[in-house]
Amino acid sequence: MSAPPRTAVTLGEMFEHQLRTRPDATAVRTSGRSWTYAEFGAETARLAHRLRRLGAGPGTVVGLVAPRGPAAVLGLWATIRAGAACLPLDPAGPPARSRDVLREAECTLVLADAAVEWLPGALLIGDPGLAGEPSTGAGLPAPAAQDLAYAITTSGSTGRPKVVGVPHEGIVNLIVACRDELDLIRPEDVLLWTAEPTVDVSMQDCLMTLACGAAIATSAPGAPQAMLLVRDARALGATVLDLPSAVVGPYGRSLLPRLAAAGVRLVITGSSQLDGRGLADAAGDLVVHNGYGPTEASVAATWYVCDSTTPQRAPIGKPYGGVRIHLLDEDLRPVPDGEVGQIYIAGRGLARGYLGLPSRTASAFLPDPFSDEPGRRMYATGDRATVDADGNYVYLGRMDDQVKINGFRVEIGEVEHALRGFPGVTDAAVLVHPRAPGGTALVSYLSGTPSPDEALVEYLRDHLPGHMIPRFHVWLAEMPLNRPGKVDRTALAGIPIGDSLYRAGGR
């Protein structure tokens, strides 16, 4: 039996159960080596005991500077076993920003897989001196459900990064649902980890997998490349992959059958709007789960299983156990059925808030007027949605995606949705370009098979009013993605309108 008791409230309890019941099962796998639960448990225990002697424990935050790989998994779980919260940092990020993040989180202890020039005091994960530390969990602390398990950095609108602190209660609630309700993980699974450690889906991948007795496989660091995923999945025996919608949407109809042939049973996706056209038909027996949720709600708050009826704008599904969704208007009243409202997330999945930013926390995490439990809160996502006839939530874009062009209000998400329906377009993004020739204009950035502007505009006239049709169209070989796997709109904004791979108009 690999399932820990349902009464488990912390990650440590779930992991200790696997160490007792599955010591010889594979925990971590690379192309060159595998670690059993017993081996991995011993290594994380040694590092956890060292962290404890250096002051780590419940109520403290430990930084982690390591690329995707075994060292990052080791550092994450060692920190959790020490009772502290893990804060991943980008090894290639600006040192000044990382220092700001550490200061915001009041973090003075940092783990690293290699020497860090700007952090001379970092503890090396592979320090030979760790061999002298205890190799069992005896004496390690037992944090409470409300103690922080990890912290993730998100960008702030003021330019100041925000550090979201997530307690054990939130991530354990997700993991139990992934295991018991959603069938996202089984003890016999091998999950191929593809995200960067600083992205919150990495917390789901690395924590869910080892808390439930499965194995996590890692390939070379770097952004997931569609053409290499099949090779890595087959070589590492992967049965589950977690990929951004920006990869699954454009490439899924050709990629999913090949992944299925390589032995993959499930693809987890999310991070942005998923193009669901034909995914289930192409995938065959492989299942695609589309998740939605901000970092502030412990990675994901809703899930949807793609099937043959899934439309182009794939729904984001329904909340799982312990999570509630409120769709509210500007006065925090529930919107009528079929109407559009802002998504507010409530229940056990909520983060504690933004570390070191109490006013920002208070403005985003509001008292939940629909809860009978005193002190419960709801998180204002800033996302718009409606509910379809099957009770699934359908994401409609950000509240702030509404822009004004020549006096007209334009919903960016609606324009992008129309563009993705044009034959040959695999993905689309729309920006307001303030310095376009002739003045401020909507500019579409498209990947796929280039077509003349005239054909594209003629198509859009049948789907959009004239003021919502972009004035310029830039074709790219592929969309630039940022580290979380979303379309990098900052990179798009830096492309001169006439300076793309294909000139506007497809020639």
Residue 505, pLDDT > 60, answer no
Tokens of 27: 């925990």
Residue 357, pLDDT > 70, answer yes
Angle at 202 between CA 196 and CA 207, to 5 degrees: 145
Pinpoint the alpha helices (H) of 27-129: 37-53, 70-81, 95-104
> pLDDT tens for residues 361-390?
999 999 999 998 888 999 999 999 999 999
| Buried/exposed code over 83-121 (b: 16+ C-beta within 10 A; e: otherwise) | bbbbbbbbbeeeeeebeebbebbebebbbbbeebeebee
> pLDDT tens for residues 466-475?
888 999 999 9
420, 447 Cβ separation under 8 angstroms: no
- Quote the pLDDT of residue 156: 55
- Quote the pLDDT of residue 377: 97
Q: Which residue has the higher pLDDT, 453 or 6?
A: 453
For domain 406-493, give the fold. Answer: GMP Synthetase; Chain A, domain 3 (3.30.300)
Residue 255, amino acid: L
Residue 158, pLDDT > 50, answer no
Residue 461, pLDDT > 60, answer yes
Residue 301, pLDDT > 80, answer yes
- Quote the pLDDT of residue 432: 87
- Quote the pLDDT of residue 408: 65
